[in-house]
Structure formats: C-alpha cells, structure tokens
Structure 1
Amino acid sequence: MPDLESLRCFEAAAAHGSFRVAAASVGLSPAAFSDRIRRLEELLDVRLFDRSTRSVRITTAGERLLPQARETLENARRCVTVAREDARPPFDLSLGTRYELGLSWLVPALGELRADRPERTLHLQFGDGPDLIEKLERGRLDALVSSTRLTRADLDYALLHEEHYAFVTCKALARSLLRPEQARTAVLVDTLADLPLFRYFQDARPAEEVWAFADRELVGTIAAVRLRLLAGAGVAVLPRYFIEADLRAGTLSELHRRTPPHSDYFRLIWRRGHRLTPEFQLLATSLRRLPLR
C-alpha cells in the first residue's frame, strides 16, 4: 500500500515538473526524493514519470493516479483536523423556506451563518408551506423555516422571530373597505384555498363579525399578493416587514389599524428525534440574532 509521504512526493513532482524543485518543496534531498518515486513505481508496477537529463514528464499512468493521490492526501489532512479537540467534522444541512423570506433574510445571512460554524454548509430550497412540510416528512429536507401553524406531534420546532401582519389594500380602495358589509364589493387576495393569511385578521375580530367578500383570488405567494394589491385588485393580509416600505410610501393603506391581525412566529421546524437536533437548536440561536429584512 502506498504511504502518504510517497504520494506527497508524487504530487509535488507532478505539480513542479522537476524532481529538484519538488524535492526542495517537501524538504528532501534530490537523491532521497528520487528514491521515494522509484519505490512508489515499484510498488504500483507502473512508470509514473518519463525522465530525461533536462525534464520530467508525467506518464498516462501517472495522470490516472494524480486525482486519487490528491484526494487521499486531502482526506489525510482532514483526519488531522477532525481529530483535534477544537475541531468539528464538516456537515451539510438542507433548509427549506418560502421564496420571499429566503431571498430577503436567509440568503443575505449565509455568510454570517458560515462564519458562526465554518464546518456547517447550509443548502436552501424554496417552496410553499405544504410542499416544504411534505419534503420534510420524506427526508428531502433536514429542517425548514416557516410560520406555518403546527398541530403535529412528530415535528419539533424552535421559535425565531415574531411575525406581525397588517390588513391592507391600495390607497384608492382604503376608504370604501372599513366595515364588514363593505367587503361584499371587494376581492380577497390570499395565497392558498384555506386563506392562511386572512385567518390572522379574522381570528382577531369579534365572533359575530362576518366578512363575506365578492370573490377570492389565490396567487400562491406573498410577493404575488402584494403585486395584486398594488394593482388595485382587492384586500389582503400580509406580513408587516414585507410591506413596511409600501406603508411608508402610501402605496398601500392599512385597514383597522387599532385592531391588527393576530401575530405568529417564524419557526425552525424539524422531525422529532432527528440525529441533528442539537445542531438545529444551535442554528435557531444564530437565526434569532439576525433581524428580519
């Protein structure tokens, strides 16, 4: 079996194209270096370099060996790193989230999160709530960030940030949609058929109050809901952080400001009993330090 020192000499010779220069790079005399290469060739029963008085050229067999030799040397270096008391083995986490939150918050945070844990690599996948939960169940995601309401005993979570909502419409419609009976002339825009956004407002209202809209329009994402409101399509409930600039600019107006919708929380969610549960808890701690954008 080739020893690591011989592979290191072989890799150096391939990189420098000169035994003399390569020998100096690994701290050996030219004679000792040449002996290392000779013994490696005898062990493998192939010629790794064609030598002349003026040059050294790697052979076809040497070219085949080179990638494997480099991988073996790198794995050996990692053994040293992993074995040290202050080092942690590298690992990956696949993290799901909705498109808008991923782009505005998680993607900009990747650099800081990597600095927190250099050995951890985060991979992001975007989708809506039901799609992400299904991927989590099937093991295609390790965890997800969502404000999806949870009623399941097989999932664990950590709270991250409180999410506040606002019942809004475009400025032109604001005055005509202040009372429940006026909803009969308006279109409710939401993401999914169970109206997950509007429920935050409805649950905050008196039980006897009925908001019966002329129609419903389902557009899949909060970014699409916002665009429809800006186009004057109707009313909707949206996360306040997501439309703060629109409210300041006056392009969207808030309805029933004194009795806002219920709030919710962004949560880091994972399967109960997952082997990486301690890592999810550490990730949640890091995410709580990063303000929503």
Structure 2
Amino acid sequence: MAAPVVIESISHWNSTLRSAKQEKKTIFVDFFATWCGPCSAIAPVFEHLAAEFSNAVFLKVDVDKLQPIAQKYKVTAMPTFYTIKEEGPVDSVQGADRSALRDMVAKHAIRPSTVNHPPLPEKAEKLKVDGNTAFAEGDFVQAFLCYSRALDVAPGSAVLLVNRAHTLMKMVKMEGTTKADRNKYRRKALEDCLVAVPQDDGKWAKAWLRLAEASLLSAEEESIEEFPIHKRAMKRKERIAGAEEALKAAIEHSEGKIKEGACTS
C-alpha cells in the first residue's frame, strides 16, 4: 500500500519533486506540525488518499523542521495542503477539512489505470525517458524529437503518441512560434491522439483526455480560419462537441476521477 513520504531535508524535497515531475505525477503535500492536533486528526485521511490514488505522489513536510519550504509556499496555518504540478502549485486547502481535501485530490488525481501497456523496446524506453526529462525542463522541441525517435523504434505505441501529442500542444504555446507552425502542431497532436485512443480497447483515460485537449485546441479561432468562412462556425461546433465526448470517455474510464492537465507517461 502506498504511503506518504516524509520529507527529511531540503535536498530530499528538491530531489523528490524533481523525480515526480520527470515521471509526470501530480504531487500532494501535507504541511503539518507535530504539536498540531488537527494535523494529527486528518493524517489518516491523507494516508488513505495516498493509498487510493497511488499514481500520485503524497508528501509530508514538518513546518518546524523545514521552515524554508513552508515559507516558500506561504504556509501560515496548519495543516495546509498543496497540489503541485509541473507548472508549480495549482490548488490548496487550509485546515483539517476532510471533504475539501478529498475534493482537491479527486479533482487533480486519477486512480491507477487498469490498462497495462506493453513494455517498450529498450531503445524506445530510453528515448521516452529522455523525452520526459526534456519535457519537465520545458525543452518541448527536444522532447518532441525524443518521442518521435522512440516512435520510429516502437511505431503505434499509445504511450509515446500521447506523450508526443501533449508536447505538441505545449509547442503551440511557445513564444515565437508562427501561426503556420501552431496550426501544424495542432493537427499533428490531434492525429496522434486519434491513433492512440482506439488502442487498449479504447479504455485508457489519459488518451481520451489528451484527445479532448487537442480537440479544443483545434477549435481555436486561428485553427478554424483554415476553413471557408461559411464553414467555420460548424467546424468549431463539431470540434467542441468532439472534445466534450472525449472528456466524457476520459471520466468514464477513470471511474469519474480525472486529473486536470494530466501529464505525460
């Protein structure tokens, strides 16, 4: 059974966050104090959530022992819970509110998938890891190249296709990207998702979530401008509807617990 990791030092904190982000996992942090009664009362709830949502990383930080970390996250009351993703903190709960804590975790996490992907060939796996590292560092072009090379070795891999699609969607937002390239990245991301979704009997929630995101990107105004004016409204409506259907499938195949902005695999 998964259990929260108790952070012992600042270097332990940094290495644990770095590793979790490289593995594209959502991080939940319990900022507590040993003398805090409410902290002790809610601790079993946090432990239960760690076991239930074992695809995420659950950490405990003693605010007295590790004051610099608590100060960085502006912790002023205990317990305080944070959700951290690749872009940084995205949500928090202050106080021993069991319902609010569970709601926050359910909003940002996903239960372990029942889908078992076949192992990648050694070379493809190494390239995937290199791509994950580049993605975590914000080097999306390098990540794209790594995933593409991995797909040369393992064509049709749903994991690699979904990772590359996620990267392409990040590339759409890169500063200095031309409109032509943004639209190219949107199309390619959508294509990758459409190939990935039918695999695993169409039961992989993350593939459906990426398809929803790619469909919404393809519904943006500058993407729709590729069509004749009289068809644009219809195309936008079709793509938004496609995104809604994909999101419904993602929720269905994750037992209703879908992670917002789910990261690469």
Interval containing the TM-score (normalised by the shorter chain): under 0.3
> What TM-score does the superposition give when structure 2 sets the normalisation length?
0.26
TM-score normalised to structure 1 length: 0.24
Higher Cα Rg: structure 1 or 2? Answer: 1
Q: Which structure is higher in strand share?
A: 1
Give the structure with the higher percent helix: 2
